[in-house]
Structure 1
Amino acid sequence: MSFQPELLLERDANTGEGPVFDGDFLHWVDIPKGLIHKTDLKTLATENLTLGVIVGAAVPFDSKDAYAVAYKGGFATFENNVLNLVNPFLSDPEYRMNDAKCDARGRLWGGSCHMKFNPGQGKLHRWDGNDNNKVMVENLALPNGLGWNKENSMMYLADSITKKIFVSEFHLDDDFVPKFRELITIDSGLPDGLAIDNDGCIWLAIWGGSRIVRISPQGAIISEHHFPVSQPSSCAFGTDGTLYVTSARAGLSDSDLAEQPLAGSLFVLSTNTSGVPVSKFKGV
C-alpha cells in the first residue's frame, strides 16, 4: 500500500532536518541557517531559535527547556537563547557535525564529516553531556540517519555518500561499541534521515530521490512513497503512526524550485504502522 504525503507547513528551509516528535510539538533544524524550529502541531505556529552557527541536529532535554546540539564544532547545549560549547572538539574548519539522535538512555550519537564529504574522514561519536565524547565508528563519509529498534537490540546508520545503510547489534551498556555491516545499498538518490517502526522496519528519506522507502529488517524495500519535492531529508514518527517529514531546497535551481515550490516544507505521511519514539537527551 502506498500512502500519499500531505503538506503540513509550507516553509523555505535550506536544509530542513532532524525532526523530533514531542507531544504537541515537532522540533527540527535548518542546518546552514543555524536555526532550531519548534512547531506547534495543533496551531502550526513555529518558534524560530537562532544559534548563529551551523547546526546538524538539536534534541530536547528530558528534564528542562533546553536542547542538546550537534553544531559545526562539536556538541553543545542551548538554553535561554545561549549556546554553551560544552565539547568543541572539531577545531578544523574543514569539518562539521551532521545528524544526531539520542538512544534510549538519552545519550546523543552524532556523525562528523569533512565539509566536502571525503570518504573515510567521517566518524560516529557518542556524547553523554560532558566535555568529551567517544568515537564509536570511523572510516565513514557522510554519517547521517540513525535509529534503533524498539527492543534496543539493533542500531541503524545511513552513510549518504556511499549510499549504504548499515546495521549492528546493539546494547545499552556503557562499554558497547557497534560493529556495523552493510544492510542495503540505495540505487537512486542518497540515503538520508530515517525512523524505525515497531515492526523493526526502516523508513528512509531518499535525498534526490523524491521518496521515502520502507525497508525490512532483512534489507528488502517493502514500499515506496513519493513526494512533490526531490529532497525529502528526514522523518520521525508521531504517536499515531503519522510520519513527519522534513525537506530541503539546498542546491536547487530556480527552474527546480518552480517545479517544486514546496521544497523546504514539512510534510506528513500516514502509515499503517506505529513508530519508535525519538528519545530526549538526559546527559550526565
Structure 2
Amino acid sequence: MKNQYQVELILDSKATLGEGPSWDNEKRWLSWIDIVEQKVHIFYPDSKRNRTIVVDQNVGAAVPRKSGGFVLALRDGFYLMDIMSEQLTPIAHPEKHFPNNQFNDGKCDSAGRFWAGTMEGNETEGAGSLYCLDLDHTVRKMVENVTVSNGITWSPDNKTMYYIDTPTLQIVAFDFNQETGSIQNRRVVVNIPPKTGNPDGMTSDMEGMLWVAHWGGYQVTRWDPITGELLNSIPIPAPIVTSCSFGGENMDELYVTTARIGLSEEVLEKYPLAGGLFRIQTGVKGVPMYSFGG
C-alpha cells in the first residue's frame, strides 16, 4: 500500500477545530469552518487569501446556496447567511428541546437538500440525529440514535448514501432515492480498525471509493465500500484530521482540514502545522459538491 501522494500545506491557519471543507466550482473558492471559534472561512486558492466571517455560536457546517450566500448548521439550528452583510436569518431549529445538543457536519445532496446531524456536548450515546433540510425549508429526521454525527457522502450515481457515526468505527450505507431524498436498507460497508484514529469527515470519488479523515489518526484513508478493503493511507502532519473534500479546476485535489483542540504544547511543538489546511493531488476526480437549492 505505497503512498504516492504529495501533501501540501496551503494555509497555516492554526485552527482550533477546522472542519467542513466545501468547494464551490462556480466561484472557485473553498469554504471551511472553525467550529469552536465560531468562524466561517472562504479560502481563495489562486491568491491564497482567506476571508473570515465570525458568527455568534458554534458552527457545525456551512454549504453554499444556489441563490447566493450560505446555509449554516449552527448550534441553534439551520440559518441562511448573506456573505455581503454577514447577516444570519434563522430557518429551523429541530432540536430546541435539547439545549445541550449541537450540529456537527453536513452536506448537500445532488437535489440540493442539506443533510446535517447533531451530537450532545458530552457525546452522550444516542442523543443525536441526522436531519434533512428540504428545499421548502421543512426539516425531516432521517436517522435517530446517533452519538457523533459526522461524515456523509453519496456514490457517483447518487443511488447510495454513506454515513459515519464516529464512535461506531463504521461507515454505513443506505439505498438513496434521489427524487424523494428517502433512505432505506441500512448496512455496514466499512469497519475502521481500532487505534487508527476515529472516522470523521468523508467524501467520495468518481470511482465510487470513500475518503475518510481520521481524528487522532494522523491520516486520510481511501476505502472500497463494496469489499470493505482499505486501499490507501495518506499521512497528514497533524494528529487531528477532521474532514476532506475534492475541489480544484479538475476536481482532483483533496482539501483536508485539521485541528489543534486538546493537543498538548509538547505535541504542538512536534506538529506545528496542526490546525492547518492541506491539499493533496490525488490523480482521481472527486464527486462534485452541491449547493443548497432552497
How high is the TM-score relative to the length of structure 2? Answer: 0.93
Alpha carbons of structure 1 residues 129 and 51: separation in structure 2 relative to 1, 3 Å:
farther
CA contact (8 A) 1:117 1:161 kept: no
Residue identity (%):
34
SS of structure 2 residue aligned to 1:273: coil
Deviates more, 1:101-110 or 1:85-94: 85-94
Distance 2:215 2:161 in 1: 21
Amino acid at match of 2:21: P
Q: In the TM superposition, what are the counterparts of 1:2-81 in structure 2 within 5 Å?
A: 2=3, 3-23=5-25, 24-64=28-68, 66-79=69-82, 80-81=85-86
Give unpaired runs (5+ residues) of structure 1: none
Please tell me whether residue 114 in structure 1 is matched to residue 120 in structure 2: yes
Give unpaired runs (5+ residues) of structure 2: none
SS of structure 2 residue aligned to 1:161: helix
Q: How many residues align structurally?
A: 282
SS of structure 2 residue aligned to 1:251: coil
Distance 2:131 2:36 in 1: 21
Q: How much has 1:256 moved relative to structure 2?
A: 1.1
CA contact (8 A) 2:218 2:236 kept: yes
Distance 1:168 1:259 in 2: 40
Distance 1:100 1:265 in 2: 21
CA contact (8 A) 2:147 2:167 kept: yes
Distance 2:136 2:266 in 1: 46
Distance 1:106 1:208 in 2: 32
Please tell me whether residue 143 in structure 1 is matched to residue 152 in structure 2: no
Residue of structure 1 in register with 2:239 after alignment: 230
Q: How much has 1:131 moved relative to structure 2?
A: 5.2
Q: In the TM superposition, what are the counterparts of 1:178-217 in structure 2 within 5 Å?
A: 178-187=184-193, 188-217=196-225
Distance 1:129 1:51 in 2: 23
CA contact (8 A) 1:102 1:279 kept: yes
Please tell me whether residue 261 in structure 1 is matched to residue 272 in structure 2: yes
Please tell me whether residue 98 in structure 1 is matched to residue 104 in structure 2: yes
Q: How much has 1:55 moved relative to structure 2?
A: 0.4
How high is the TM-score relative to the length of structure 1? Answer: 0.96
Amino acid at match of 1:14: T
SS of structure 1 residue aligned to 2:30: strand
Deviates more, 1:176-185 or 1:134-143: 176-185
Q: How much has 1:22 moved relative to structure 2?
A: 1.4
Amino acid at match of 1:118: T
Q: How much has 1:175 moved relative to structure 2?
A: 6.0
Equivalent of 1:220 in 229, 236, 241:
229
Q: How much has 1:179 moved relative to structure 2?
A: 3.5
CA contact (8 A) 1:249 1:264 kept: yes
Equivalent of 1:163 in 166, 169, 190:
169
The alignment's C-alpha RMSD in Å is: 1.3
Q: How much has 1:71 moved relative to structure 2?
A: 0.4
Deviates more, 1:72-81 or 1:207-216: 72-81
